[in-house]
Copies of this chain bind each other. A is one copy, B any other.
């Protein structure tokens, strides 16, 4: 089947809405002028509620990984004892960054597919006092697992209240609720190409009062990623270095759409698409990967069925215009991932599940035509509170009894 635009179902970059695409085509402006200043102020003001903070947010021109590096090198010093809680490849990455810059890193590596357990973390911290920082991943893109950050942060605060809590929420923030201030989180990182519906190229980093204070004495070297330089420039409506202006235009346009939709509706849309994806894949006989209690709401992973070659399945799926992501590291060839964040709609999920259904049947797996998309639709409608008349009547009758 031919189609005119692929259904990009990787967990970022996410597909750009039309107004965001148009923003990418704008003519350049002077990044030291009033137009840029107004845009920067609007972006930071609109993003802060998604971080759940009243503290300063910095906008850096780099990938999410650059944002992770900024989070580490601005707040820590060589020799600092750091606990890297890793549930996948991005947890490994931020721990590696701390190591490269001379931190004394202890890794708490959780089996891929599992979330970090607050009780286990508490026990580890009780047995190992004196961490300067704990590194956490909110949404682990490599395993499609979402950590319970509020509970993990509470565990850390109860045992080692002085430790800085640094959270990678590159692929979580903006798609699901986050309350940095209320949860006592110190640094949070996100990236433009995820929930924000823009191209990659910008990382946003929020820091608590404690974290901003820590930067005054932290001695890891930094220049390009210096957060205080960004904060000071932002106060003048600028960035310390020439920003990725086209991406700034796009993030501004994406936030305009988010403003109109509203945070609650955005979060609900992500939950609906996640529920539909899980139900659809399950109905097609795919075994979901990861702990069901901690499935991500922005990406879903499923095991490649025994006896099937991921590359062959992926080629067929791609041939029908749906772009999925494979597994990373030890999970390469073992799982595939379907992203549902940013501009995702239920229709796109139904399309993707429909193509997987079609390809499953072509590969002679036991699948009834329509089973996958019907299950996806059913789960989505249930999540939206839209239930069949009979059930509604029964519910009404029950309510009247």
Enumerate chain A interface residues (CB-CB to B < 8 A).
5-6, 8, 10, 12-16, 21-22, 24-33, 61-66, 69, 96-97, 100-102, 191, 193, 199-201, 220-225, 240-247, 250, 323, 325
Q: Decide: A191 and B323 in contact? CB cutoff 8 A.
A: no
Chain B residue numbers with a CB within 8 Å of A6 are 27, 29
Contact indicator A28/B5 (Cβ below 8 Å): no
Copies in the complex: 2
Query: Given that A21-B27, A25-B24 are contacting pairs, would A242 and B97 also be in contact in the complex, using a CB cutoff of 8 Å?
Result: no
Cross-chain contact B25 with A8 (CB below 8 angstroms)? no
User: Pick the contact of A100 from B31, B191, B222 — CB < 8 Å?
Assistant: B222
B244 contacts A244, C-beta separation under 8 Å: yes
Please state if B241 and A61 are interface contacts (CB–CB under 8 Å).
Answer: no
CA distance A222 to B97 in the complex (A): 8
Chain B residue numbers with a CB within 8 Å of A200 are 31, 61, 242-246
> Hey, which chain B residues are within 8 Å of A201, CB to CB?
61, 201, 244-247
Say whether A241 contacts B25, CB under 8 Å. no
Contact assessment for A28 and B199 in the assembled complex, using a CB-CB cutoff below 8 Å: yes
Tell whether, in the assembled complex, residue A221 and residue B221 are in contact, meaning their CB atoms are under 8 Å apart. Answer: yes
Q: Knowing A28-B8, A64-B242, say if A69 contacts B101 (CB, 8 Å).
A: no
Contacts of A224 on B, CB cut-off 8 Å? 62-63, 65-66, 69, 97, 225
Residue numbers in B under 8 Å from A16 (CB-CB): 27-28
With beta carbons under 8 angstroms apart, the residue of B13, B63, B246 that contacts A61 is B63
Task: Name A28's contact: one of B14, B242, B244 (CB within 8 Å).
Answer: B14
Q: How far is the CA of A8 from the CA of B30 in the complex (A)?
A: 8
Name the residue among A101, A222, A224, A325 with the largest chain B CB count within 10 angstroms. A224
Residues of B within 8 A of A241 (CB): 63-66
Shortest CB distance A220–B (Å) = 8
A12 pairs with B102, CB closer than 8 A: no
Q: Give the CA-CA distance A163 to B27 in the complex, in Å.
A: 42
User: Is B21 touching A26 in the complex (CB atoms < 8 A)?
Assistant: yes
Closest-CB distance, A96 to chain B (whole angstroms): 7
Q: Give A16 to B24 CA distance when docked, in angstroms.
A: 11
Which residues from chain B contact A244 at a C-beta distance below 8 Å? 61, 63, 199-201, 244, 247
List the B residue with the shortest CB-CB distance to A199. Answer: B246
Contact A101 B66 (CB under 8 A): no
In Å, the complex CA distance between A25 and B199 comes to: 10
Residue contact A246 to B243, C-beta cutoff 8 Å = no
Instruction: Report the bound CA distance from A244 to B63 in whole Å.
Output: 7
Quick one: which of B8, B24, B97 contacts A223, CB cutoff 8 A?
B97
CA distance A60 to B323 in the complex (A): 25
Task: Kindly state the separation between the CA atoms of A57 and B323 in the bound complex, as whole angstroms.
Answer: 29
A199 to chain B, nearest CB (A): 4
State whether A250 touches B246 (Cβ < 8 A): yes
A8 to B26 Cα, complex, angstroms: 13
A100 touches B221 (CB 8 A): yes
Chain B residues with CB under 8 A of A323: 30, 33
How long is the Cα–Cα vector from A223 to B222 in the complex, in angstroms?
12
A197 CB to nearest chain B CB (Å): 10
Specify the chain B residue showing the minimal Cβ separation from A25.
B25
- B22, B101, B243, B325: the one contacting A221 at CB < 8 Å is B101
Q: Is the CB of B242 within 8 A of A191?
A: yes
Contacts of A5 in B (CB 8 A): 27
User: A8 — which chain B residues lie within 8 A by C-beta?
Assistant: 27-30
Told that A199-B244, A200-B245 touch, could you supply 4 new A-B pairs with CB distance under 8 A? A61-B66, A62-B224, A65-B224, A193-B245
Bound complex: CA A325 to CA B13 (Å): 35
In the complex formed, the residue of B with least CB distance to A101 is B221
Partner of A63, one of B32, B65, B242: B242
Chain B residues with CB below 8 A from A100, complex form: 221-223
Contact of A31 among B13, B30, B222 (CB under 8 A): B13
